[in-house]
């Protein structure tokens, strides 16, 4: 799993990171809310482990902002608070689970694995925006019931944009998701977007792929950004 930990307690952060890395997981971390928000919004993660009491913005605010941006990465909230209201608040804001401090590292990992399995099982099998359909089982793409021939990178790009629709997906997030740390030249993403438009939009009149200058791209029925 690719895991993001947002925790300001250095001892807890180090213990959790060391344990998860020893279990062969990839871990990124942030020690304040704004840094965590930036990482979560610009990089793909399988799950986020999020402390409530953070400098900058707290864990509840971070969780809320991610869900408002249609970023649906599963979230486990860590909190020393055992009041029912705090637990309910996190779940209502979109968290998937909570764990009270102190906790066993093995329990945290077991909960993470369970949530990721459940999340993958509940993922949509057919993405649909307007007349555009993407069957994730067969990897077939249609618009107005016309099959579209799209190369593998184009399909991955389209899948990410449709999964996040109608949210704007940042350039940095798309580049990281497509190429990891081996980023190509700066025009590669623009070139793939252009090719995707030629196939998905041009023959059908109504554009669904939108550019938000200086930010990124979106697939949506309208361009009201």
How is domain 2-121 classified at the CATH fold level?
A: Rossmann fold (3.40.50)
8 A C-beta contact, residue 174 and residue 157: yes
Q: Report domain extents, the chain.
A: 2-121, 126-219
Architecture of the domain defined by 126-219 = Orthogonal Bundle (1.10)
Beta carbons within 10 angstroms of residue 77's beta carbon: 27
User: Is residue 156 helix, strand or coil?
Assistant: helix
pLDDT values of the chain reduced to their tens digit, one per residue, 225 residues: 899 999 999 999 999 999 999 999 999 999 999 999 989 887 888 899 999 989 989 999 999 888 877 677 899 998 876 666 777 788 888 889 988 888 899 999 999 999 988 877 655 678 889 999 998 888 899 999 899 999 999 999 999 999 888 888 888 888 888 887 777 776 899 999 999 999 999 999 899 999 998 889 999 987 765
Tokens matching residue 107:
């329990």
Q: Whole-angstrom Cα distance, residue 170 to residue 23? A: 31
Beta carbons within 10 angstroms of residue 78's beta carbon: 23
Which letter, b or e, does each residue of 29-53 get, where b requires 16 or more Cβ atoms within 10 Å of its Cβ?
Answer: bbbebeebbebbbbbbbbbbbbbbb
Is the dihedral angle over the CA atoms 202, 207, 208, 211 positive or is it negative? positive
């Amino acid at each position: 799993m690719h895991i993001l930990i947002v925790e300001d307690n250095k001892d807890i952060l180090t213990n959790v990171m060391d344990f998860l890395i020893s279990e062969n997981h990839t871990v990124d971390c942030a020690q304040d809310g704004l840094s965590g928000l930036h990482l979560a919004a610009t990089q793909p993660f399988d799950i986020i482990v999020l402390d409530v009491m953070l400098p900058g913005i707290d864990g509840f605010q971070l969780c809320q902002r991610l869900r408002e941006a249609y970023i649906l990465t599963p979230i486990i909230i860590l909190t020393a608070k055992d009041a029912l209201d705090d637990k309910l608040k996190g779940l209502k804001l979109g968290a998937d689970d909570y764990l009270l401090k102190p906790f066993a590292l093995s329990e945290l990992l077991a909960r993470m694995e369970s949530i990721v399995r459940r999340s993958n099982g509940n993922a949509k099998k057919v993405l649909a925006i307007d007349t555009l359909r993407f069957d994730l089982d067969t990897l077939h793409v249609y618009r107005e019931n016309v099959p579209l021939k799209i190369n593998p990178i184009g399909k991955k790009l389209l899948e990410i944009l449709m999964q996040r629709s109608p949210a704007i997906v940042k350039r940095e997030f798309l580049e990281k998701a497509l190429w990891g740390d081996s980023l190509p030249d700066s025009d590669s993403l623009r070139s793939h977007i252009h090719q995707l438009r030629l196939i998905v939009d041009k023959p059908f009149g109504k554009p669904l792929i939108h550019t938000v200058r200086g930010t990124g791209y979106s697939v949506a029925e309208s361009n009201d950004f």
